[in-house]
Amino acid sequence: MRTVVFDLDGTLADTSADLLAAANACFRALGHGDMLTEADSLTAFHGGRAMLRLGFSRLGAVRDTDIDAQYPRLLAAYADGIDTQTRLYPGAVQAVESLRANGFATAICTNKPEGLAETLVTRLGIRGLFDALVGADTLPTRKPDLAPYVASVERAGGRVARSMLLGDTETDRKTGLAAGVPVALVTFGPEGRDIARLEPDALLDHFDDLPDLAERLVR
């Protein structure tokens, strides 16, 4: 079965505002103001530790011990407000439904912890549209290692040789290269069309174009 694997943050949904809010909650609890702004959305899509590192760098000192101490607090704050401002990108649901109607399996492979990813897609009402979900802690490794990608395809009932990855970051591009599969990167994320610098197999400007793109990339 042909399979399309989706990244979650920055690909299916714009989660940046809720991620940034969780990081800022940590800095406020430490007695600082909000250290991150909407302009830091790209960092948000690189994960909690990346946001904490950026915030601490603006305070003048980055220590791994501080990041390690705040990371569980960030996850707790994020869990409390996981879908406050998060929104699916326009056309995402219709595109996934169309793929499935055309015989594709669909899966999610994300570097968000599995439990949080499951919670988010359930609250967004899209969990039933995906045959598998693999998160950052589902396996001992995470993207760009190929193992999570392979697991997401196989758990969805597909074969890696007949699959593709849709993502939004360099991590996704490297994952596709490691797995030897086509990668399309979205241009509606924080980098816009500058993401073309990664030379993916294709760029996706709108979810309306995904079904035709998948037909072309996954033979």
Q: What positions carry a catalytic annotation? A: 7
| Angle in degrees, CA 80, 97, 14, rounded to 5 | 35
In 3D, which of 132, 133, 142 has the Cα closest to residue 169? Answer: 142
Report d(CA 16, CA 9) in Å as an integer: 8
Tell me if 63 sits within 8 A of 42, measured CB to CB: no
Contacts of 31 (CB under 8 A, 6+ apart): none
DSSP string across 57-71: HHTT---HHHHHHHH
